[in-house]
Amino acid sequence: MNPAAALPTAQALADTLRATLAPTTLEVLDESAAHAGHAGANGLGRGTHFRVRIGGPRLQGLSRVAAHRLVYDALQPYFEAGLHALAIDLQR
């Protein structure tokens, strides 16, 4: 089995966030290539560092920490599969 095939993708993260949080605004960017040589980088330039821009009713009225926790909880399986860093930009 090719280990790179199991790496998280922006599409997979977006699909999971849509299914769990039903956001009205969502953009997922794989920024892994910009982190080559940094901690958590895998040498492939993908699948380790992502940025999520997200907004929607499920996140409204929550503290920043609580909103981030919802996103982290939804994406937990990807951390187990190699996701190392996640930047979250809340769109309110």
| CATH code, domain with 41 | 3.30.300.90
User: Which residue do the tokens 């299914």 mark?
Assistant: 19
- Give the number of other CB atoms < 10 A from CB of residue 31: 15
pLDDT of residue 68: 98
How many domains, the chain? 1
Sequence-separated (6 or more) residues with CB below 8 Å from residue 16:
74, 75, 77, 78
Q: State the pLDDT at residue 62.
A: 97
What does the pLDDT read at residue 6? 74
pLDDT beneath 50: ranges in the chain: 1-4, 35, 42, 45
Q: Please tell me the predicted confidence (pLDDT) of residue 13.
A: 96
Q: Which domain holds residue 84?
A: 3-90
pTM equals: 0.82
Alpha carbon distance 2, 42 (integer Å): 14
